[in-house]
Amino acid sequence: MAWLWAVFTVVASGGQVLRNAAQKELTATLGTVGATQVRFLFGLPLAVVFLAIVLATTHQPLPDLNALTIAWTATGAIAQVGGTALLLAVMQQRSFVVTTAYVKTEPIQVALFGLLFLGDQITPLLALAIVIATAGVLIISWPRGSSAEVFSWQAAGLGLASGALFAIAAIGLRGGIRALDSPSFVVGATTTLVLGLVIQVVILSAYLLLADRATLRAIVRAWRPSLLAGCIGAFASQMWCLAFALETAAKVRTLALVEILFAQAVSRNLFKQSLASREAAGIALIIAGVGLLLNL
């Protein structure tokens, strides 16, 4: 049981890479907001199926949604949508690549928010593991060259704010699961996931209905590839919630940086590119940070 959270996190990270690949074509046809909505809209039915299976196999009743659970989960769901919106704003300014590097400071912010709002403890070794792994990601993600877009105060601010919102999203989900106080961590995690997806679907559907009905119609027409992306996304989200039910958000989101390693492996296999020395150094730091994390 002690290592179960790590298994869930690694599986979730791999699923996230697959979901991103499935959404790549959808982004070109539906736009980023449309492709984001696909993740929630088509993932919700599968999450409901997950919940039905979990309730049937555990013989547990559906937990009562208390006000604290709803508040935490709504905070996390809205923060996740907001973090995505900030990334969209930066993409329009052509500073997305450098902002991505700032977004990867999320584990540090998760640790701080977890300490402030959930009382999750940060030991010196945990802090060291977070810093080492995050430094590795920054080394890999930071753009090359002397372009004017390499640094921008506005891009940096939006990137850090986006990372903060994604950190709040992780804290919100963990807080919602803990507030539910279900005797089964699987039931608590799955119930919180369904609640979060319902909130996100309502928010994005309302936005598209008011501001971009053409995208809503395009989503309906592209239901087959959207269903695949949504199912993969729902599976990954289920694994995230199970991990959050068992371990602090700081540990989960730091271990989740292995997603970078998965993405690098896919890139190398697809494009047969050699590994640059800077990327090798970044990967070594990620592995060192993750290794330290798993031995705490």
Q: Tell me: the pLDDT tens digits for 235-249?
A: 999 999 999 999 999
| Residue in 259, 235, 236, 239 with CA at minimum distance from that of residue 247 | 239
Q: What's the pLDDT at 11? A: 93
Would you give the DSSP letter of residue 142? Answer: S
Q: Please give the Cα distance from 213 to 27 (Å, whole number).
A: 16
* Amino acid letter for position 63: P
**Which token pair is 32?**
């980023």
* Amino acid letter for position 219: I
Residues whose CB is less than 8 angstroms from the CB of residue 119 and which lie 6 or more positions away in sequence, other chains included? none
Domain ranges of the chain: 4-294
The count of other CB atoms within 10 Å of the CB of residue 146 is 6
The tens-digit pLDDT sequence of the chain (296 residues) is: 678 999 999 999 888 777 766 766 777 788 778 888 888 999 999 999 999 999 999 999 999 899 999 999 999 999 988 887 776 566 555 544 455 566 777 888 899 889 888 888 888 888 999 889 888 877 776 666 544 445 566 666 777 888 889 899 999 999 999 999 888 999 999 999 999 999 999 999 999 999 989 998 999 888 888 888 888 889 999 999 999 999 999 999 989 888 777 766 655 554 455 556 777 787 788 888 888 887 87
